Amino acid sequence: MSIISVTDLHKSYGSVHALKGISFNVEEGEIYGVVGPDGAGKSTLFNILTTLLLPDSGEVSVLHKDIRKDFLEIRKYIGYLPGTFSLYPDLSVEENLIFFATMYQSSIKENMGIIKPIWQQLSPFKNRPAGKLSGGMKQKLALCCALIHKPILLFLDEPTTGVDPVSRKEFWEILKTIQQQNISVLVSTPYMDEATLCDRIALLQEGQFIKMDSPQAIIDSFQGNLVTLHTHDIFNLLHLMEQCPFHCNFYPYGEHLHVIFYEDLTTILPSFEKFLQDNNQIYNNIQQIKPTIEDCFIEITTEKKNL
Closest distance of CB 89 from ligand ADP, Å: 23
Q: Cα(72)–Cα(121) distance, rounded to whole angstroms? A: 33
Cβ of residue 302: shortest distance to ligand ADP, in angstroms? Answer: 19
* Minimal distance, residue 146 CB to ligand ADP, in Å: 18
| Closer CB to ligand ADP, 146 or 203, in the complex | 203
Q: Which is nearer to ligand ADP, 43 or 231 (CB)?
A: 43
Nearer to ligand ADP, 204 or 226 (CB): 204
Minimum CB separation of residue 6 from ligand ADP in Å reads 15
287: phi then psi, degrees, rounded to nearest 5? -155, 155
Half-sphere exposure of 287 (CA within 13 A, CB side): 5
Q: Quick check: 155 and 186 in contact, CB under 8 A?
A: yes
Of residues 229-248, those binding ligand ADP (CB under 6 A): none
Tell me how far, at minimum, the Cβ of 158 lies from ligand ADP, in Å: 7
Site string for ligand ADP, 72-91 (x = CB under 6 A): --------------------
CB of 15 to ligand ADP, least distance (A): 9
Environment class of residue 130 by beta-carbon count within 10 Å: exposed (0-12), middle (13-18) or buried (19+)? buried
Q: How many residues bind ligand ADP (CB under 6 A)?
A: 11
**Buried b or exposed e, range 146-182, using 16+ CB within 10 angstroms:** bbbbbbebbbbbbbbbebeeebbebbbebbeebbeee
Q: How far is the CB of 49 from ligand ADP (least distance, A)?
A: 12
Q: Is 54 in the site for ligand ADP (CB under 6 A)?
A: no
Chain centre distance of CA 104:
28
Sign of the CA dihedral with 39 first, then 43, 47, and 48 last: positive
CB nearer ligand ADP, residue 40 or residue 248: 40
**Is the Cα dihedral 81, 82, 85, 87 positive or negative?**
negative
Q: Where in 8-47 is the site for ligand ADP (CB under 6 A)? A: 13, 16, 18, 36, 38-44
- In the bound state with ligand ADP, the residue whose beta carbon lies nearer, of 44 and 167, is 44
Dihedrals phi, psi of 198, to nearest 5 degrees = -95, 160
3-state secondary structure of 236: helix
| Shortest distance (Å) from residue 204 CB to ligand ADP | 7
Report the chain's C-alpha Rg in angstroms.
23
Nearer to ligand ADP, 157 or 295 (CB): 157
Please say which residue, 43 or 249, places its beta carbon nearer to ligand ADP: 43
Cβ neighbours of residue 274 closer than 8 Å, sequence gap 6 or more: none
Nearer to ligand ADP, 41 or 159 (CB): 41
| β-strand partners of 250 | 259
By the criterion CB under 6 A, which residues form the site for ligand ADP? 13, 16, 18, 36, 38-44
